Amino acid sequence: MSGKVVVVTGASSGFGKLTVLELARRGHTVVATMRDVEGRNATVRSELIDAAKTEGHVLQVLEMDVADEASVNSAIDQVVKQHGKIDALINNAGLMAVGVTEAYTVADIERQFAVNFFGTVRADRAVLPHMRAAGGGLLVHVTSLMGRVIFPFFGVYSASKFALEALAEAYRYELKGFGIDSVIVEPGPFPSNLISSSPEPSDHAVLASYGEVAAIPGQIKANANDGHDEANPPRPQRVADAIVQLVEATERRPLRTVVMPEGMDFGVQRLNEAVSPIQNNMLTSFGMSSML
């Protein structure tokens, strides 16, 4: 297998951290990106580099804040200058707002979208000119089952992931002629630090008006990692494995890949299968079947 040059955003923890380590094990040239590599993430940077080195692999860590266009462009330019290309971009960076939806102000929601949606827009736009010039490439967009279904108190997060799903699917059609795949990975409820680090809504007056309902998000956060089978706990590595499989695929990849904890099924795969023919028929009726 010929190793690929792969850039991963949000690599300091969770799925991103597991993905960069697995890609390195598989012999790819991996560039793990994150914020504040000289400060709060300096330890993570060292852990990633040392872990790869111990196994005889090379892993590079670069500063990238997906909410800052100059930071994104600088990091991507550096990768292309050093390696000559980018074969795959894994858009993994994200935040998860959990709270009373109305209590999130416009500024709060803009901060959520700055990372979850516009962060991906920035990264995709930075790499796409290089991929189009090379005649191929892969964009992986890590969304969520909540990019397809809705849970109360996750409205702001879901909105950002629904938007990301739309962007990724539009790219899927428009980039086919350039040999570029745009795909979506939809993880289920794996344990992570996303819920515990959820940004709080800023409109306290609205929160107060919701009474006892306003306490429910706190209960969700407190119980975020409960309800799993202790004898067979969820393995977030499944998400990393699915991403690596997409990177290494030699044929056109599926648009959506659902990754749930073992034994759990919320029906998202069935939803995707039901929607797909409707979407395909619509494009065909407009003479766009060649983009499918």
Q: What's the mean per-residue pLDDT of the chain?
A: 95
Strands across the sheet containing 88-91:
59-63, 29-34, 5-8, 88-91, 137-142, 180-187, 256-259
Q: What is the pLDDT of residue 231?
A: 62
Integer Cα distance of 173 and 264 in angstroms: 31
Beta strands 256-259 and 180-187 are parallel
Residue type, 283: L
In this model, does residue 1 exceed pLDDT 60?
no
Instruction: Name the active-site residue from 104, 157, 171, 210.
Output: 157
Which tokens hold the place of 144? 């969520």
Question: Tokens standing for 171?
Answer: 């790219």
Query: Is 104 tagged catalytic?
Result: no
Which SS3 state, helix, strand or coil, does residue 33 take?
strand
User: Which residue carries 């059609």 as its tokens?
Assistant: 173
**Half-sphere CA count of 131, side-chain side, radius 13 A:** 28
DSSP-assigned states of every residue in 142-181: E--GGGTS--TT-HHHHHHHHHHHHHHHHHHHHTGGGTEE
pLDDT at 230: 62
- Rg of the chain, C-alpha, whole Å: 19
Q: What is the pLDDT of residues 208-239, one digit of tens each?
A: 999 999 999 999 988 876 655 666 678 999 99
pTM of model > 0.85 = yes
In angstroms, the CA 189 to CA 162 distance is 17
Q: What mean pLDDT comes out for the span 11-19? A: 96
pLDDT (average), residues 171-193: 96
pLDDT of 227: 56
Query: How far, in Å, CA of 63 to CA of 13, rounded?
Result: 15
Segment (H or E) for 79: helix 69-83
Q: What is the pLDDT of residues 238-264, one digit of tens each?
A: 999 999 999 999 988 999 999 999 999
12/35 Cα distance (integer angstroms): 8
Any idea what DSSP says for residue 199?
P
